[in-house]
Amino acid sequence: MSESSTTGDTLLSGDASVTATVVREELLRDYPAKTKKKREKQIVINDKQRGEDGSLHLPVVAANTRTVPGIITQRGCCYAGCKGVILGPTRDIVNIVHGPIGCSFYSWLTRRNQTHTPTDEHDNFMTYCFSTDMTEENIIFGGEKRLRQAIQEAYDLFHPKAIAVFSTCPVGLIGDDVHQVSAEMKKQLGINVFAFSCEGYKGVSQSAGHHIANNQIFKHVIGEDDTERSQWSINLLGEYNIGGDAFVIEDLLERCGIELVSTFSGNSTYDQFANAHMARLNAVMCHRSINYVADMIEKKYGTPWIKVNFIGANATAKSLRKIAEYFDDRKLTENVERVIGEEFPAVVEAQRKYRPRCAGKRAVLFVGGSRAHHYQELFSELGMETIAAGYEFAHRDDYEGRQVLPTIKIDADSRNIEELRVDADQEKFRESDRQKGLKREEQGYTFREYDGMMAEMKDQTLIIDDISHSEAERLIKMVRPDVFCAGIKEKYSVQKMGVPCKQLHSYDYGGPYAGFTGAINFYEEIDRMVNARIWSRVQPPWENGSPGTESSSPSPTSLEEMEELEESTNS
Amino acid sequence: MTLLRHTRGGEITERQALTINPAKTCQPIGAMYAALGIHRCLPHSHGSQGCCSYHRSTLSRHYKEPVMAATSSFTEGSSVFGGQANLLQAIDNIFTVYQPDVIAVHTTCLSETIGDDIPQISEKASEKGLIPDGKCVIHASTPSYVGAAPTGFANMTAGMVKYFSKSTSPTKVADRVNVIPGWVEPADMREIKRIVAAMGLESIVFPDTSDVLDCPQTGMHEMFPKGGVTVEQLRATGDSAATIALGPICSDAAAVELTNKCGVPHTTLPLPIGLEATDRFILALREYNGGLVPQEITDERGRLIDLITDMHQYFYNKTAALWGDPDQLVSLSELLLTVDILPKYVVTGTPGKKFLRRMGEVLQERKSEVQVRQGTGADLFLMHQWIKNEKVDLLIGNTYGKYISRDEGIPLVRHGFPILDRVGHQFFPTVGYRGAIRLLEQILEALMQRQDDQCSEERFELTM
Ligand code: SF4
Ligand code: SF4
């Protein structure tokens, strides 16, 4: 039975005829047959069925499949996911991009990862862009020699703790052995040098790059430093410190007395990664990009993992409580409640201010691998409804929940992304942590749980995976959302259609939006966007649908007089 | 705290293999930009989807405008077997869904390394009936391991000539010139059209991104805005009296192609940025309009001279560091010398034989006071090292200069590509006499604000 109590078709706009079914048909209408067949499986109505036993059944979204050539996609490449997303925010690794200049140039400082070094003496290479800038000669005769030389030059100039090498498309094709070169240089220089085979053509999106990054960090860095950590220590996985989000979360954790061993990878350092296996719990923010590391740490070292979300005030409170609940200590619980108590009044106050101005408005979100889900929290705190959403590069589990994992078929594009075989580490596996996890699980505490986006969205909303430009444009025309969340490539076409577009990759150079203070920032930002006067001034006064020119009624000389005048004309 | 804390002066060791903080980017983005200057054209990136995503993002950030382009979305399979199937499907989808008049395909490092033959694939598309009547697929080969962004612009612009230009009669249209504007902003292209019209000439400016990347907010998104050179105009370039190519690196190839293909004579000039370069542009146009220069233009020139004579003391003996595209750097350097600012450090990652020679011509007797570098190792890291060793008063270049600017306390005038953190470049031209006024006004603002910020209280001036 459908969850929806009424007709089964939630209205997407004021117009009762605009149902999800109608919109879906319009989005698919003009595609050539082959394209249509493919897109039909990625544009899905969130038809939530309850089984007899109350279990939720969701339709299948054909996520993480190839983008159809020519449709104008939001997606980027494997390299962007690996170097740009995962490794980009770590400040003290020199990241050398092996390839022609462009790939490195475009990922130079463009993701807004903030970082904070304790002093000026600490390494920070994030402001630098390193490339082997391959020439035609290297493409023909191979680029290994140039790479070796580049690593040497980077070492001589910067003396970093570690150097990472990233392969781009042409490198994979000509077959440079970046791992071999890195291993040699590691030996020669006496610092860690490791490589990522993250050529852009691998997989079907950035997602493949996340996986490759997870694998290599796990293989080459995690586990290097066994310094003991406190009983309430965690890693925060999948938080990239866009606009200072990680700073907010760091502050909250610190005030609660929770030790943050490492963040993957916002505001992070090499040493944090090396020591990450010593944390007692892994808290996963962006499930899509980092669940591999969480799984592998658990297998090798015994650290259990939980899903958290610090986007949204309620979600933040819930996540802090969930962490405290795991450690199950009265003092910690008190700390957490105290911090929530300190933060919440301002949140409530802000909600009181902004909710009336935003409530009832409608949002659509097409972004990332977790944000299109997480940010629905913030919209609902504003009383806004999400009527359509989709990810750029997520997998089925991010839509439908992790319970579908066993049913996901591995296709040709995923098969060649390495799945590391991980076994328990004889020496370093902490049986006590595993036992603790098992015990907590018996008590009803849930680990490794992520229900995905669809379970939390309303019945009969629209799910669009890897949305194309034409679909976005048709969606806007039909449902006229009040705010559209996407990225820079969509930003200005959406706005040209008269709808404000919030970038949820870069935050439009604003933020932070995480935690309690972040939530308040976001409320204010959405209020600004959906209520900006300028949207009602787009039409010139001399064209139809305009407010028209001022009438020739008597001119008031003060605001009070004007209001009086207006009242008299209105009545 | 310093942002570029690892950059030091002292003895500078030459690097052979490592580029740090590049002063260039890759070919396809130039090709994409040029293709956007064709009316109703959708640029298409034949390769993996990352390149296309990066190019669109960077152009969007620079213009704060939608940048529409499609990609062949290569997967590992296509990188082994070639991208023919991808391109055929892309062509079908694009013409069916987006309905442009032209698809302008450029290659990427990947498809170039594989060796995909684009003309052959479009031939196939045509045989399969995937290209509707009256529509076309053009292409340019743009491997990034050769050249840089301006090279891509040049290749795509030459592609326009290859695919479209036609000579329909031996007699040319006497008062019509083709102008290839080079890689300049939409506002510059609009200004160039205005200047040519003011000179009483008809023109075909190609590519032309005005009214494509500086569109008004209307509440409607036009997938293909009203701007851009039309296919019909491109065909007609073969019948124009002459071609004036602005900026040899970006525009020479197309002009030469047009001479060879249609017998249209060409003159290649530096970009008309600054007094002398604009003078040369006006003189070149005068060859075709009967020798007239309207008062309007003469007055504009006069105003520029007036500004320089009035404010010369603030320019005099200052030094600047410049980076960016070679065509821009040559003309900018000349403008700086005109006002007696020394372009002390000039750096470009973009290769191209003529650059160093032309810099030599511009610098003349001041050559020995200037460091110019091009190609491998010519990057912002090197320039910053030079600055550490000996400071300058002013930085002129793209947004990446703001890190040096902040660390060293040197004002930055944003010019070139990309500008990711300010607006203005999309609205106000820097070409022509009026453009030079705009540039000098920005330079003055930077220098005078610095003086205001840094001078002692007693030397703080009301009138300057
Ligand atoms: S692969 Fe080549 S074309 Fe693509 S971004 Fe890198 S340098 Fe540019
Ligand atoms: S060349 Fe490959 S790795 Fe580089 S940006 Fe393009 S798709 Fe990504």
User: The domain spanning residue A121 has which CATH number?
Assistant: 3.40.50.1980
**A64-68, A112-116, A148-152, A564-568: lowest mean pLDDT where?**
A564-568
Which pLDDT tens digit goes with each residue over A166-222? 999 999 999 999 999 999 999 999 999 999 999 999 999 999 999 999 999 999 999
Indicate which ligand has the atom closest to the C-alpha of A134.
1
Report the amino acid identity of residue B446: A
* Residue A136 domain flag: yes
Q: What is the mean pLDDT of residues B349-359?
A: 93
For residue B82, the chain A residue with the least C-alpha distance is A173
* Residue B462 domain flag: no
> Are B188 and B145 within one domain?
no
Pocket test for ligand 2, best of B108, B113, B114, B144 (most atoms within 8 A of CB): B108
Of residues A275 and B377, more confidently modeled: A275
CA-to-CA distance for B368 and A62, rounded, in angstroms? 64
> Are B418 and B324 within one domain?
yes
Residues of chain B above pLDDT 90, percent: 97
pLDDT band at A1 (very low <50, low <70, confident <90, very high): low
* Nearest atom within ligand 2 for CA of residue A169: 2
Residues of chain B above pLDDT 70, percent: 100
Q: What is the mean pLDDT of residues A231-248?
A: 97
Which pLDDT tens digit goes with each residue over A263-272? 999 999 999 9
Residue A561, pLDDT > 90, answer: no
**pLDDT of res. A550:** 46
* Residue A475 domain flag: no
Report the amino acid identity of residue A153: E
**pLDDT of res. A560:** 81
The pair of three-digit structure tokens given for residue B91, joined into one six-digit string: 């062509």
Q: What is the mean pLDDT of residues B206-219?
A: 96
Residue A562: how many CB atoms within 10 A of its CB? 12
pTM beyond 0.80: the answer is: yes
* Residue B357 domain flag: yes
**pLDDT of res. A554:** 65
Which pLDDT tens digit goes with each residue over A410-455? 999 998 899 999 999 999 999 999 999 999 999 999 999 999 999 9
> Are B252 and B130 within one domain?
no
> Are B209 and B269 within one domain?
yes
> Are B259 and B344 within one domain?
no
pLDDT band at A16 (very low <50, low <70, confident <90, very high): confident
Q: How far is the CA of A139 from the centre of ligand 1 (A)?
A: 13
Residue A11, pLDDT > 90, answer: no
Residue A280, pLDDT > 50, answer: yes
Pocket test for ligand 1, best of B51, B116, B153 (most atoms within 8 A of CB): B51
Which pLDDT tens digit goes with each residue over B402-451? 999 999 999 999 999 999 999 999 999 999 999 999 999 999 999 999 99
Chain A residues near residue B91 by CB distance under 8 angstroms: 70
pLDDT band at A161 (very low <50, low <70, confident <90, very high): very high
Of B27, B57, B73, the CB nearest to A73: B73
Q: Which domain holds residue A83?
A: 78-220
Q: Which domain holds residue B302?
A: 2-20+297-457
Domain boundary among B164, B196, B213: B164
Task: Examine the residue annotation and report whether A80 is marked as an active-site residue of this protein.
Answer: yes
Of A68, A133, A157, the CB nearest to B93: A68
Inter-chain contact B93–A108, Cβ cutoff 8 Å? no
Domains identified in chain B, total number: 3
* Residue B54 domain flag: yes
> Are B133 and B63 within one domain?
yes
**pLDDT of res. A556:** 75
Tokens 């690996």 correspond to A82
Which pLDDT tens digit goes with each residue over B364-405? 999 999 999 998 899 999 999 999 999 999 999 999 999 999
* Residue B463 domain flag: no
pLDDT band at A15 (very low <50, low <70, confident <90, very high): confident
Q: Which H or E run contains B104?
A: strand B102-107
Sign of CA dihedral B127, B130, B136, B138: negative
Residue A7, pLDDT > 70, answer: no
Protein residue with its CA nearest to atom 2 in ligand 2: A200
Q: What is the mean pLDDT of residues B143-164?
A: 96
CA-to-CA distance for B54 and B457, rounded, in angstroms? 47
**Taking a C-beta distance cutoff of 8 angstroms, is the pair A102, B106 a contact?**
no
**Taking a C-beta distance cutoff of 8 angstroms, is the pair B254, B154 a contact?**
yes
Residue B303, pLDDT > 70, answer: yes
Q: What is the CA angle A203-A265-A428, rounded to 5?
A: 95
In the stretch 134-153 of chain A, residues with CB closer than 8 A to chain B read 134-136, 138-139, 146-147, 149-150, 153
* Residue A435 domain flag: no
Task: Examine the residue annotation and report whether A75 is marked as an active-site residue of this protein.
Answer: no
**pLDDT of res. A352:** 98
* Residue A484 domain flag: no
Chain B residues near residue A488 by CB distance under 8 angstroms: 57, 60-61
Residue A543, pLDDT > 90, answer: no
Task: Examine the residue annotation and report whether A210 is marked as an active-site residue of this protein.
Answer: yes
> Are B179 and B276 within one domain?
yes
Chain A residues near residue B97 by CB distance under 8 angstroms: 30-31, 70-71, 468, 470
pLDDT band at A397 (very low <50, low <70, confident <90, very high): very high
> Are B288 and B301 within one domain?
no
Q: Considering A98, A112, A210, A288, which one is annotated as catalytic?
A: A210
**Taking a C-beta distance cutoff of 8 angstroms, is the pair A31, A25 a contact?**
no
> Are B127 and B185 within one domain?
no
Tokens 């740490």 correspond to A297
* Residue A275 domain flag: no
Inter-chain contact A120–B90, Cβ cutoff 8 Å? no
Which pLDDT tens digit goes with each residue over A338-393? 999 999 999 999 999 999 999 999 999 999 999 999 999 999 999 999 999 999 99
Residues of chain A above pLDDT 90, percent: 91
**CATH code: domain of residue B76:** 3.40.50.1980
pLDDT band at A552 (very low <50, low <70, confident <90, very high): low
* Residue A85 domain flag: yes
H helix count then E strand count, chain A: 23, 16
- Any residues with CB less than 8 A from the CB of A559 and at least 6 apart, and which? none
Task: Examine the residue annotation and report whether A77 is marked as an active-site residue of this protein.
Answer: yes
Q: At what angle are helices B295-315 and B186-198 packed, to 10 degrees?
A: 130
Chain A residues near residue B94 by CB distance under 8 angstroms: 70
Domain boundary among B277, B292, B307: B292
| Predicted interface score ipTM higher than 0.90 | yes
Q: Looking at CA atoms only, how far is residue A313 from chain B in angstroms? A: 31
* Residue A428 domain flag: no
CA-to-CA distance for B256 and B149, rounded, in angstroms? 20
* Residue A182 domain flag: yes
Q: How far is the CA of A103 from the centre of ligand 1 (A)?
A: 5
Inter-chain contact B98–A168, Cβ cutoff 8 Å? no
Domain boundary among B272, B292, B312: B292
Of A109, A131, A496, the CB nearest to B221: A496
Domains identified in chain A, total number: 1
* Residue B449 domain flag: yes
Alpha-carbon distances, residue A39 vs A17, A48, A372, B295 (angstroms): 23, 20, 19, 60
Residue B219, pLDDT > 60, answer: yes
* Residue B246 domain flag: yes
Protein residue with its CA nearest to atom 7 in ligand 1: A102
pLDDT band at B145 (very low <50, low <70, confident <90, very high): very high
The pair of three-digit structure tokens given for residue B171, joined into one six-digit string: 């007699």
CA-to-CA distance for B393 and B241, rounded, in angstroms? 45
Residue A95, pLDDT > 70, answer: yes
Inter-chain contact A127–B403, Cβ cutoff 8 Å? yes
**Taking a C-beta distance cutoff of 8 angstroms, is the pair B54, A103 a contact?**
yes
